Chains A and B, each alone.
Chain A
Amino acid sequence: MKIDKKQLDKLNNEGVENLSVEERRNFLKMGLMVTGVFAGGTLLSATSAIDKVYASANQFAEKYPYKPHYSMILHIDRCIDCEKCKAACVKTNNVPSYGFRTTVLERPIPDGIDQKREFLPVLCNHCNVPQCTRVCPTKATYKDQQNGIVMMNTSKCIGCLSCQLACPYNARYFNEEKWAVDKCNFCFDTRLTKGEDLTACAAACPAGVRIFGDLSKPSDRVYREVHTVSRTVWVLRPEAATKPNVFYTRG
C-alpha cells in the first residue's frame, strides 16, 4: 500500500497509553500467528529429520529402488597398502598416472599400541544424494536410475570441473586423453556388463578388504554387514549428507 512520506511526517504519535484494548489485541494476535507459523514449520522439519535418521530398511529401498543397488564395504583393518587394487583399476580402465579412480590413503596413529598406521582405500562413493550431478551444467554426469551408479557421459562433458569441486570425496579427475572428467564407475562398462561379478579392485585385493555387492538383496554380504547391529559401519564425511553407497568397517 502506498504511504505518502509527507503525510506520515505530519502525523502525531498518540502515545502507547492511548491505544485501545482492541488495537492491542489485534497486534498481539498477528504476532502470535506469525510465531505459530514458524513453530509449526520447525516441528514439521523435526519429524522429517527423525525419519532421515531412523529410516527403516524398507523406506531406504523405497526411496532408492535400484536393482541391483551396487555398493561396496571395505574392511580397512585388513588393508596393507599393497595397491594391487589400484594397479588393477589402472590396467582395466586405462587410468593415467596423473589421476586416480581409486587410491589408498594413510592415517598415521602415533599413539597406537598395536600398529602405528591405518590404510584407507577411497573411491567414488556413488552417493544417493550426489553433489556432483547437482552442479553439472550439461548433465554429463548423472545417477543411473537402474543400478545407482553415478555415470559419466564423456561426450557431454565441457571440462568445467564443477563436479570435481563439488565432490566431497576428491573422487574425480580430468582425463586428458578423453578430454573429460573421469571417475570410478564400478567398472560398469569394462567388467559388470561383460559377465564379471566384481569390480577390478575388488577382484584384485589379496586381503579381502573390498567387498562389492548389491544392497537390494538381503542375502548379499554387503547388505548383511551394513545391517548387522553389532558391527560398527561408517561412511566418509557424513556431514556432507550425500548418503554414500561405499561403507567402511573393521573386523
Chain B
Amino acid sequence: MKRIGLLTIIALAALLVFNIGMVMAEDDIPDDIIFTEPVVGVVFSHDAHVNGAGMDCESCHDDIFQMEALSAQQETDFNMLSLSEGRYCGACHDGEMAFDANTRCASCHIGVIGYNRANGVDGEHGGE
C-alpha cells in the first residue's frame, strides 16, 4: 500500500513539472504588439520569436526590453539609428544572429494599413 502511494506521488510530481513546461511555452505568450511611435505600424510577434525561434523570456527581458508592452516607444531613442547601434531589436537583428534591421523593412513595418487591419478599422486606410 505504502509503495503504491509513493509511486503515485512521484508520477503526479513528474506530470506537474512536465505540464508547467508545456503551459509556459504555449499559453502564456502575449499577443502581437504593434508600436505606434515614432511611426505607426511596427509589429513584434512573441509567437514568431518564442515558438518560431525558440527563445526564452530571459533572452530579452529585462535587459533589452521591459515586460510592459509598448514601454519601449516611450523612450526618445526608439528609432532605426538605435537599432543599427545594437539597442532594442538591434541587439539580435544585426545581420549575424538574425536578419539585419536595415533590410526587408516591411516584414516588421506593417504600416497604417496593418495597424488598422489588426484593430478592425473599416477600409484599412487612414482617411480614405
Contacts and interface: CB of A to CB of B under 8 A. Distances in A.
B86 interface: no
B3 interface: no
B112 A83 contact: yes
Contacts of B31: none
B128 A81 contact: no
A83 B111 contact: yes
B105 A82 contact: no
Contacts of B114: 81, 117
Contacts of B99: 114
B111 A104 contact: yes
B37 to A, nearest CB: 11
Interface residues of A, number: 23
B90 interface: no
Contacts of A84: 39
B76 to A, nearest CB: 15
Given A81-B112, A84-B39, A115 B107 contact: yes
- Secondary structure at chain B's binding surface: helix, strand, loop or mixed? loop
A65 interface: no
B127 A100 contact: yes
A206 B39 contact: yes
B104 A80 contact: no
Interface in B72-128: 99, 103-107, 109-114, 125-128
A104 B104 contact: no
Given A80-B111, A82-B111, A103-B125, A114 B40 contact: no
Interface of A: 77-84, 86, 90, 97, 100, 103-104, 106, 114-119, 206-207
